[in-house]
C-alpha cells in the first residue's frame, strides 16, 4: 500500500487543541487532513489527557468570557456530531478568602460587561447550600451556573474519531523533527517519514518552540509539572455532580476541584504549584509536598470528599508570561497557524481548534482573537515580567 504523503492541511500535535483542529479541518477538506502525533494517540505525557477538566464562563477579562461562550456553542456542535455528551454542567462557585478580595472585581466586571449573571453569597449561605464546604466567615463566593466538566479524554477521542470518519489520516509516533517551506508547500520531516502540506497547524504545547523556532522565533514559555488527585470520598453521595458544583479557591495558593464524575471520585488540583521542567525532563511521580498541600486543603475545607487516593496524576502546564493564549498566524507564514493554550485551554479546545482552522483558511476567525497575538509586546521581550495569576 502506498502511504499518502501530501495533504492540504497538516496538524502537528494531537492533544486537546490539535485533535480539535484536525476535526474542524476535516469538516472543511475531508480526507485532505493529516494529523501528526509524537507519541501514541491518547498518551498522558502532554496536558490534555485526563478524565475531566473544568469549564466556566467566570473569567477575568471579557475576551475570555466571550470565548468561553463560543466554546460552549462549539462543544454543542461536536457533541451533536459525535452523538456523545462531552460537557456536564454542574454550576460553579469561585471562593474568595479575604486575602483575595483584590481581584474579585476583575471577574465581576468581565461578567457584567458580557451580561453573564452570577450571584454573590457569604460563607454561611455557602455552607447552607453545600454543607460539604467548611470555610471561615471571611470567605465570599460567586455562584455562576454555566460551569461544569469537560470529559477531556473522551472529547479528545471524539474529535479524532470524527476527523477520521471524515477521511483524515492520523499518524502516531511521528514526531515532527523539521519543518520548512519548499516551493509553496511545508515539508515536515518526521520519525515516520516526510510529509508535505499546503497549510499547517502547530499545536505542540510544551514542545511549541522546537517548531516555532524553526519557522520564526521561540516565544517565552514556562513549563511546570502539576498534579491532580482523585479520592475515594468518605461521603460519595454528597460529591455527585447533581449535588456538588465545580469550584475554584481564588486565594493563594489557588486550588480547584470537580465533583465525582464518571466513576472517578472528587478531584482537586492546584493552579501553578509545581517545579519548572521541560516536556522531556518531567517525571510522572507524584510529589510528596504537593500531595500534602492538596490533602490538607481537602481535610480543612472538604473533609467528606477526602479519603484514600483513587489516582494521583502529574501533568504539564505550559504558560506564556502573561498566561494569555496564542492563537495566530505565524508571522511571515500566512499558511501556518500557532495555538498555545497557556495551561487553561482544555475548556476552549473545541473553539480553539475551530479558530486555528478559520485563521488558516479565511485569515480571520468567528471569535475575537485580538488579545492572543503571537506578536504582542510581552512575547517580544527578552526578559518579560511573568504573572501566571488569572
Ligand atoms: C493538571 C492540569 C489541570 C488542568 N485543568 C484545566 C481545567 O480544569 N480547565 C481547562 O480549561 N484547562 C485545564 N488545563 C490546561 C489544559 O489541559 C491545556 O491548556 C490543554 O490541554 C493544552 O492542550 P494542547 O493540545 O495544547 O497540549 P497537549 O495535550 O500537551 O498536546 C500537545 C501535543 O503535541 C504533541 N507534540 C509535541 N511536539 C510534537 C512534534 N514535534 N511532533 C508531533 N507531535 C508533537 C505532544 O505529544 C502532544 O500530544 C489543565 C492542565 C493541567 C496539566
How high is the pLDDT of residue 4? 94
Cβ(290) to ligand 1 under 6 A?
no
Q: Which residues pair with 269 in a beta bridge?
A: 228, 256
Verify cis geometry, omega within 30 degrees of 0, for the bond prior to 308: no
Cβ(203) to ligand 1 under 6 A?
yes
Ligand 1: distance of its center to the CA of 29 in Å? 25
How high is the pLDDT of residue 380? 87
Cβ(142) to ligand 1 under 6 A?
no
How high is the pLDDT of residue 390? 74
How high is the pLDDT of residue 387? 87
CA distance 70 to 65: 9
Which ranges of the chain have pLDDT less than 50? Answer: none
Q: Which atom of ligand 1 is nearest to the CA of 313?
A: 1
Q: Which is nearest to 359 in space by CA: 333, 328, 330, 332?
A: 328
Cβ(140) to ligand 1 under 6 A?
no
Cβ(343) to ligand 1 under 6 A?
yes
pTM here is 0.98
CA distance 278 to 218: 15
For a mutational test of ligand 1's pocket, the pick from 35, 43, 47, i.e. the residue with the most ligand atoms closer than 8 A to its C-beta, is: 47
CB count in 10 Å sphere of residue 111: 20
Cβ(54) to ligand 1 under 6 A?
yes
Cβ(51) to ligand 1 under 6 A?
no
Cβ(271) to ligand 1 under 6 A?
no
Cβ(269) to ligand 1 under 6 A?
yes
Q: Which atom of ligand 1 is nearest to the CA of 48?
A: 21
Protein residue whose Cα sits closest to atom 26 of ligand 1: 205
Cβ(160) to ligand 1 under 6 A?
no
Protein residue whose Cα sits closest to atom 21 of ligand 1: 48
Ligand 1: distance of its center to the CA of 127 in Å? 35
Q: Which long-range CB contacts under 8 A does 273-277 form with residues at least 24 apart?
A: 273/224, 273/226, 273/227, 274/224, 274/225, 274/226, 274/227, 274/314, 274/317, 275/224, 275/225, 276/222, 276/223, 276/224, 277/223, 277/224, 277/225, 277/316
Cβ(221) to ligand 1 under 6 A?
no
Q: Which atom of ligand 1 is nearest to the CA of 18?
A: 25
Cβ(215) to ligand 1 under 6 A?
no
Amino acid at each position: 500500500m502506498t502511504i499518502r504523503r501530501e495533504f492540504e492541511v497538516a496538524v502537528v500535535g494531537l492533544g486537546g487543541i490539535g485533535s480539535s483542529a484536525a476535526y474542524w479541518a476535516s469538516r472543511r477538506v475531508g480526507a485532505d487532513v493529516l494529523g501528526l502525533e509524537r507519541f501514541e494517540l491518547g498518551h498522558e505525557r502532554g496536558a490534555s489527557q485526563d478524565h475531566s477538566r473544568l469549564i466556566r464562563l467566570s473569567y477575568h477579562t471579557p475576551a475570555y468570557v466571550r470565548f468561553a461562550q463560543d466554546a460552549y456553542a462549539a462543544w454543542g456542535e461536536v457533541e451533536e456530531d459525535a452523538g456523545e455528551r462531552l460537557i456536564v454542567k454542574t454550576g460553579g462557585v469561585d471562593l474568595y478568602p479575604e486575602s483575595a478580595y483584590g481581584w474579585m472585581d476583575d471577574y465581576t466586571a468581565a461578567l457584567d460587561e458580557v451580561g453573564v449573571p452570577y450571584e454573590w453569597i457569604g460563607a454561611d449561605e455557602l455552607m447552607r447550600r453545600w454543607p460539604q464546604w467548611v470555610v471561615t466567615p471571611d470567605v465570599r463566593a460567586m455562584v455562576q451556573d454555566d460551569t461544569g466538566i469537560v470529559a477531556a479524554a473522551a472529547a479528545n477521542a471524539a474529535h479524532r474519531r470524527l476527523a477520521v470518519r471524515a477521511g483524515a489520516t492520523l499518524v502516531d509516533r511521528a514526531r515532527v523533527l523539521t519543518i520548512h517551506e519548499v516551493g509553496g508547500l511545508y515539508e515536515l520531516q518526521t520519525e515516520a517519514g516526510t510529509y508535505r502540506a499546503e497549510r499547517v497547524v502547530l499545536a505542540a504545547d510544551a514542545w511549541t518552540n522546537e517548531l516555532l523556532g524553526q519557522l520564526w522565533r521561540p516565544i517565552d514559555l514556562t513549563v511546570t509539572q502539576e498534579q491532580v488527585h482523585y479520592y475515594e470520598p468518605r461521603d460519595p453521595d454528597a460529591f455527585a455532580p447533581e449535588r456538588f458544583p465545580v469550584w475554584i479557591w481564588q486565594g493563594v495558593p489557588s486550588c480547584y476541584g470537580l465533583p465525582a464524575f464518571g466513576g472517578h471520585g472528587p478531584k482537586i488540583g492546584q493552579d501553578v504549584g509545581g517545579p519548572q521542567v521541560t516536556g522531556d525532563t518531567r517525571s510522572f511521580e507524584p510529589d510528596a509536598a504537593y500531595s500534602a498541600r492538596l490533602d490538607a486543603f481537602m481535610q480543612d475545607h472538604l473533609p467528606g470528599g477526602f479519603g484514600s487516593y483513587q489516582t494521583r496524576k502529574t501533568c504539564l502546564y505550559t504558560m506564556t508570561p502573561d498566561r494569555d493564549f496564542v492563537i495566530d498566524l505565524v508571522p511571515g507564514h500566512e499558511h501556518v497557524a500557532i495555538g498555545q493554550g497557556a495551561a487553561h485551554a482544555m475548556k476552549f479546545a473545541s473553539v480553539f481548534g475551530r479558530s486555528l482552522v478559520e485563521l488558516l483558511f479565511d485569515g480571520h476567525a468567528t471569535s475575537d482573537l485580538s488579545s492572543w497575538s503571537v506578536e504582542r509586546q510581552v512575547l517580544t521581550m527578552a526578559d518579560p515580567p511573568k504573572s501566571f495569576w488569572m
